[in-house]
Amino acid sequence: MKKLWYVAVLGLLFAGACSSDDDGDDAADTTTSAAADDDTDSEDVDDTDGDGSGGCPDESSLEIVTGDDSSVLDVVTGWSDEGPHPDNTVDYDGSLSLVFADYEIPIDEQFGYSIPMPGSEVVDGGTEFQVSLAYDGVIEPGMTFVDQTASAEVLAENDGTINFISLYEDVERAVLGDTVVTITEIDDDVVCGEISGEETTELQELTAVEGEFVVDRIQALEAESTE
């Protein structure tokens, strides 16, 4: 009888140990799953490319602001020309031109994809924004560009200059305030970035273009169309 009681006690102790191990395994599985979820979440939040840039938005989101008035620049044509690119036949590493229009810019029969002369093809009621950037070296993500007429201090704090900028609204050229362009991504297919501007000064009310952009690189398109 004493022996049977002893065996029963050992059985209960063994069952308890097994139950404890199972719980430990479940807890370990839960912890691992949570850690995996945390890793996934951190990857979703971090959308940079590891080079200090901000990557690319899904689409351009630009606004034209004048005082208390603002309107959306619905980008139908968004192109970039020049810039570092494997299809370049000349050195365009330190220059980059951008055009945004809320209408379709036609492809030139002679030159193919090309940015038109500023304001030359603006349709009635249309909006066209152009900006040209310059840098003494190779343009890369993370660089900022300011007006070439900025003070020496401002120029020293940024990477390159805006050599040309224009905004045409309904064939009339707007007066733009100081502008800053930041390149967040540049690869063989697209150029992405951010634009901000000064809207007013003590002397006058100005216009600013602000927001994020993503535009196609027309060198790649042009190369493909001539193969």
With CA atoms as reference, report the closest residue to 192 among 168, 163, 177, 212.
Answer: 212
**Which residues span the domain enclosing 2?**
1-46
My answer on whether 134 and 181 are in the same domain is yes
My answer on whether 88 and 15 are in the same domain is no
Distance of alpha carbon 217 from alpha carbon 186, whole angstroms? 9
My answer on whether 70 and 112 are in the same domain is yes
- Does 181 reside within a domain? yes
My answer on whether 26 and 119 are in the same domain is no
For the whole model, what pTM was predicted? 0.73
My answer on whether 17 and 98 are in the same domain is no
Nearest 5°: the CA angle 225, 226, 227 is 100
Q: Is the pLDDT at 101 greater than 80, yes or no? A: yes
| Contact call for residues 178 and 147 (beta carbons, < 8 A) | yes
Query: Does residue 41 or residue 220 have the better pLDDT?
Result: 220
Q: Is the pLDDT at 32 greater than 80, yes or no? A: no
- Does 214 reside within a domain? yes
If residue 33 lies in a helix (H) or strand (E), which one and from where to where? helix 2-45
My answer on whether 141 and 76 are in the same domain is yes
My answer on whether 140 and 184 are in the same domain is yes
- Does 53 reside within a domain? no
State the average pLDDT for the chain: 79
Taking CA atoms, 48 is separated from 83, 98, 130, in Å, by 21, 22, 26
My answer on whether 134 and 177 are in the same domain is yes
Q: Is the pLDDT at 39 greater than 60, yes or no? A: no
Q: Would you call 197 exposed, middle or buried from its count of C-beta atoms within 10 A (0-12, 13-18, 19+)?
A: buried
